Structure 1
């Protein structure tokens, strides 16, 4: 072990040169195996990317809607926002995820944590559908989500009622999640593209308050790239999160890509000290995600991009955020079987 003065010098050199003195292993807490057309780069590509990036574990889910190729469109869209055609709730997304995972040998299956997402969150029959799926594959599904509620222009494009995180249909789903000890990932924008206040905050707070036995993972902390295109940065986000983390011990924050910038890192790529303080103050409540959608090239780069922020945290906290916090929200039966 080097003398203290030498060790400190090495750390200072690493910081000055932008080289991390730490090496991390990751859990990807937010990954979609298929895209909005229910297509995927495939399991071989995913496992190769995980190996390249030091990603030990990954949440794996489908996409709960499918984008329509409208007969009036001469070219197939490449993304849900590619044209004005709608999207529809697509339950077979879970069949695709399950089929891909079940083909794997056990050593790979232990690293993938399937979340069930293919249900309509405005339909009060949703909990019955989820129960059927859980009973068809006992012990297979390890969480619910990503549940799409307020989601930028996708909300307007999706056929049917506007989904809200606090509607009656999802209330029934949350009771089911508590019964089966399943974490729930919810995409619920904190505001609209134009409003400079937490317009939709009550929609996520109400279930947090009413379902204290459910572990909620808030996707992107309520932010989105579309919001940032119009507002750049939400000044109210950090104090709102601090207050919510104090109020709701069942709240966990997914720090996927729309949170990395402009919040965790500034325009020069330097860690924001206020966010470092926030995450350090709640060391078990934050996790990383890539939010890749069906294609896995560059997956390692998505998570490695968090390293400058992780390096600014106390090392024990950084390793929890990078890998362990996601595993800690999984069902207790799963945690007991995790390879160490």
Structure 2
């Protein structure tokens, strides 16, 4: 961190995406962090707090065979570092977990958001729209959740540098990951879709425009 800040002064203000547990990387010799590993983050997390930097953590909740297998890892990180600004990437979901009940998923997120005021949720990655938001029975549940926690949700495309990824792919990903936003109430739309939550999280001198009434 010191090296980057010296070579690129004023450029970095956010850490991540950091993999706490990412099953998609298991074939690349990635292993889940252990409880001991998370405890050893203390000095690093203190540096982030001193700089007021958020950290985005990819931490799978579980998989279709064991829905909450890895949830204790994220719970431990939150319990040990409640004063850090932590963004939970992709609502904790992954391609390894595509059939979790929406009610159970929302209950987990709601419980942790209520317990940890510095936690925010990232709704990037099309896995959410493809397997969760787009289901007719699920959509109103997730819309209600996003409206309820309107100040705790961050949008994004999850578009990454990868061979074959171009502007057209970016446009497709952004369109898919943004579909749920059209159903939000005005307050949630302003905070999430128009970026107010980003501005506040990074203490930027911007404000999202107010949504005009019809």
Contact persistence 2:61–2:70 (CA under 8 A)? yes
Could you say which residue in structure 2 is the equivalent of 1:181? Answer: 52
Could you say which residue in structure 2 is the equivalent of 1:324? Answer: 196
**In structure 2, distance between residues paired with 1:271 and 1:194:** 21
**Per the alignment, in what secondary structure is the counterpart of residue 65 of structure 2?**
coil
Could you say which residue in structure 2 is the equivalent of 1:273? Answer: 140
1:263 aligns with 2:132: yes
Which aligned segments of 4 or more residues in structure 1 are displaced greater than 6 angstroms? 337-340
Could you say which residue in structure 1 is the equivalent of 2:93? Answer: 223
> How big is the shift at 1:148?
1.4
Structure 1's 292 and 307: CA in aligned 2 closer, same or farther, altered over 3 A?
closer
Q: Provide the alpha-carbon RMSD of the alignment.
A: 2.6
1:214 aligns with 2:84: yes
> How big is the shift at 1:238?
1.0
TM-score where L is the length of structure 1: 0.53
Contact persistence 1:233–1:262 (CA under 8 A)? no
**Per the alignment, in what secondary structure is the counterpart of residue 167 of structure 1?**
helix
**In structure 1, distance between residues paired with 2:123 and 2:141:** 15
Describe the superposition over 1:60-111 as per-residue Cα deviations: whole angstroms up to 9, x where unpaired.
xxxxxxxxxxxxxxxxxxxxxxxxxxxxxxxxxxxxxxxxxxxxxxxxxxxx
Structure 1 alignment gaps of length 5 or more: 1-129
90, 95, 119: which one aligns with 1:251: 119
> How big is the shift at 1:181?
0.9
Flag the structure with more relative contact order, 1 or 2, with Cα contacts below 8 A and sequence separation at least 6. 1
140, 144, 152: which one aligns with 1:285: 152
More helix by share: 2
Contact persistence 2:128–2:177 (CA under 8 A)? no
Describe the superposition over 1:229-270 as per-residue Cα deviations: whole angstroms up to 9, x where unpaired.
xxx23452111111111111111111112222332221x6x8
**In structure 2, distance between residues paired with 1:151 and 1:174:** 20
Contact persistence 2:38–2:76 (CA under 8 A)? no
**Per the alignment, in what secondary structure is the counterpart of residue 87 of structure 2?**
strand
Describe the superposition over 1:248-296 as per-residue Cα deviations: whole angstroms up to 9, x where unpaired.
1111111112222332221x6x871111111111111112121122123
Contact persistence 1:185–1:219 (CA under 8 A)? yes
Moved more, 313-322 or 275-284: 313-322
TM-score where L is the length of structure 2: 0.81
**In structure 1, distance between residues paired with 2:152 and 2:144:** 13
Structure 2 alignment gaps of length 5 or more: 210-214
Asked which structure has the greater CA Rg, the reply is: 1
Could you say which residue in structure 1 is the equivalent of 2:28? Answer: 157
Structure 1's 207 and 321: CA in aligned 2 closer, same or farther, altered over 3 A?
same
